[in-house]
Structure 1
Amino acid sequence: MKKAIFLFICALCTLPLKAQASDSHENSYTKIEDHDVLIDYVYKEANLKGVIDYQVFKKGYNAYFKTQSRKKQLLTIIDYSKPSTEKRFFVIDLKRNKLIYNTYVSHGVNSGGRVATRFSNTVNSRQTSLGTFLTDTTYYGGNGYSLKLDGLTHGKNDNARRRYIVVHGADYASEAFIKRNGYLGRSWGCPALPRSLARDIIDTIKGGSVIFAYA
């Protein structure tokens, strides 16, 4: 059985990304049992049990699979159901089936305190948006090196550009801040990362990878 699954995964990985996302290929292997086998395989191979909730990973993987415009075999999951004092930002390399980053990430100042409970797509709400995002290009702005995002979920995050929702580093998104204050600092809606990791993460996920924000 394991050998059969391995051959199945290898066959998928040899196809180009556009082929993996096409309707014809989707019909060839996304019968529910096959798709679940694939998700189970990646979850186990990446040693995600006890790190990311399986159902959250499944939703994130499905969002990745449905995003035909993706250009990288990377999936970032932000699990806002977890408090900000936990590492809830995950970057998974789906080519190597490996978790490559797991760190802290902020939520919007109007989304809640230690736990985010309110979410918005509205300009100037200063709340976090949920749904599927696609990463774009980088720039230097008021928060330093930053990554532009396009919101792909209609009505939930498709105002990301208008709201200037970007990935950036921040001093308040660090473990040191938590130790001093008992909680992580909050942004105006951006997923802010620890400055020590922000550039490396941004350079890894920029240019067409999927981010799935869940709560």
Structure 2
Amino acid sequence: MKMIQKLMLLFVLIFWSCTINGKKSDVEAEEKRDYQHFHKEARAFCKAQNFNEDYYFLVDFNVHSGKDRFFIYDFKTNKISNTNLVTHGSCDKFEANETKWEKVKFSNENNSHCSSKGKYKIGKRDYSSWGIKIKYWLHGLEATNSNAVERVVVLHSWEAVGNKEIYPEYSPLSWGCPAVSDAFMELLDAKLRQTQKPVLLWIIE
């Protein structure tokens, strides 16, 4: 009788464990965002606008700033080839970045120091006083980011940005630029210098 009771208890524990693990997996699956419709739209945009059709850059500011949220998507393999950290704008709030990752504010106004969402054309390679001393001008292609050049919102590196995920810690805040690590900027720079057509950078939330 005791053996039967032990077996029944063991069965209940196994069933409960599987149920909990299953729920956890479901939650994790729900939290993982599906970017396929962004990739599809980006591909069509690049083809229509005569942009580079090998790859594009996608930045998701809905992701915690301590996690990778800068994605290089390869149109040829239909896969994300590289990921890394990237900063978002401070909106003139310069205290420690504690929970602002989930409160990213967007603005196209001059001197706002906020990020601007939308599609950008990556433009001229130029000198930067930050990171590896290289920046790329960003030309906003939508009403939400049309002042990017005037605001000097550029793609550059910054020593303060990590080269691997630091979650649950947070990445530093920028003045509106999508700043990446020095090592990742070297990778981006190598890719951008090889292309003859403009590359798409798309910031979403």
TM-score, length-normalised on structure 1?
0.67
Corresponding residue for residue 6 of structure 2: none
Give the Cα–Cα distance (whole angstroms) in 1 for the partners of residues 36 and 103 of structure 2.
Answer: 19
- Contact between 2:84 and 2:164, CA under 8 Å: does it hold in 1? no
Read off the aligned partner of 1:61 and give its amino acid letter.
Answer: K
Read off the aligned partner of 2:33 and give its amino acid letter.
Answer: D
Output the aligned Cα RMSD. Answer: 2.7
Corresponding residue for residue 155 of structure 2: 167
Corresponding residue for residue 89 of structure 2: 108
Corresponding position: 1:140 with 2:127: yes
Give the Cα–Cα distance (whole angstroms) in 2 for the partners of residues 190 and 170 of structure 1.
Answer: 10
Shift of 1:135: 1.0
Structure 1 residues 52-63: aligned runs within 5 Å: 53-54=33-34, 56-63=35-42
Q: Please give the per-residue CA displacement for 1:2-23, whole angstroms capped at 9, x wherever unaligned.
A: xxxxxxxxxxxxxxxxxxxxxx
Are the structure 2 counterparts of residues 116 and 166 from structure 1 closer, same or farther at C-alpha, using a change threshold of 3 Å? farther
Shift of 1:61: 3.1
> Alignment partner for residue 151 of structure 1, among 135, 140, 144?
140
> Alignment partner for residue 75 of structure 1, among 49, 56, 74?
56
Give the Cα–Cα distance (whole angstroms) in 2 for the partners of residues 208 and 188 of structure 1.
Answer: 24
- Contact between 2:84 and 2:165, CA under 8 Å: does it hold in 1? no
Structure 1 residues 1-215: aligned runs within 5 Å: 53-54=33-34, 56-67=35-46, 68-110=49-91, 113-143=100-130, 144-153=133-142, 155-174=143-162, 178=166, 182-205=169-192, 207-215=197-205
Shift of 1:150: 0.9
Question: May I ask how many residue pairs the two structures share in their alignment?
Answer: 164
Would you identify which runs of 4 or more consecutive aligned residues in structure 1 move more than 4 Å? 49-52, 175-179
Q: Please give the per-residue CA displacement for 1:29-85, whole angstroms capped at 9, x wherever unaligned.
A: xxxxxxxxxxxxxxxxxxxx999622x441343144224141342121111011101
The higher radius of gyration belongs to: 2
Are the structure 2 counterparts of residues 196 and 116 from structure 1 closer, same or farther at C-alpha, using a change threshold of 3 Å? farther
- Contact between 1:89 and 1:105, CA under 8 Å: does it hold in 2? yes
- Contact between 2:119 and 2:202, CA under 8 Å: does it hold in 1? yes
Shift of 1:141: 1.9
Give the Cα–Cα distance (whole angstroms) in 2 for the partners of residues 160 and 61 of structure 1.
Answer: 25
- Contact between 2:66 and 2:165, CA under 8 Å: does it hold in 1? no
- Contact between 1:120 and 1:129, CA under 8 Å: does it hold in 2? yes
Identity rate of aligned residues, in percent?
Answer: 24
Between 1:139-148 and 1:58-67, the stretch displaced more is: 58-67
Give the Cα–Cα distance (whole angstroms) in 1 for the partners of residues 115 and 187 of structure 2.
Answer: 23
